[in-house]
Amino acid sequence: MDLSCQKSLTFWCDDVINRAGEINAWKSPEFRHAIEATGRKKIIIAGIVTDVCLMFPAISAVAEGYDVYAVVDASGTWNSAVAEASIHRMTQAGVKVATWASVLAEVMDDWRSEHGLALGDVLGEHTSYRWVYNSFVQATNQ
């Protein structure tokens, strides 16, 4: 993804938040402040492990009124049972479970958008969406 495209995606963060030891990142005042400082109510989140680093702050943020998208295929897990249990628990709590490709497509919104073709290239390089994307490019002579 080129730098101009990255700059257009406003969820990029330049700061690393070092927590004091809170397992649930949402319980870290620095983490919460960083989220609140954006003024946004929609959060896209992934975590190192799905059942802790992703699930705990996602559920906590929903409880605080945020619209949370948990990107499960950008998060790790030990096995499919852990992934399924985490997804069920998050879904029951109101978290929207998503994949990285669906989040990218939703952010992109339109192939014809300012960065649609660049983001389409990312989809085309990493998923079977390349057939859909290539079809669009050929049909529109992009």
Angle, helices 116-126/130-140, rounded to nearest 10 degrees = 140
The one catalytic residue among 53, 59, 68, 71: 53
Is 5 one of the catalytic residues?
no
| Backbone region of residue 94 per phi and psi (left: phi > 0; alpha: psi in -120 to 50; beta: other values) | left
**Closest Cα to residue 1, out of 117, 138, 140, 135?**
117
Is-contact 117 128, C-beta < 8 A? no
Which positions are annotated as active-site residues? Answer: 53
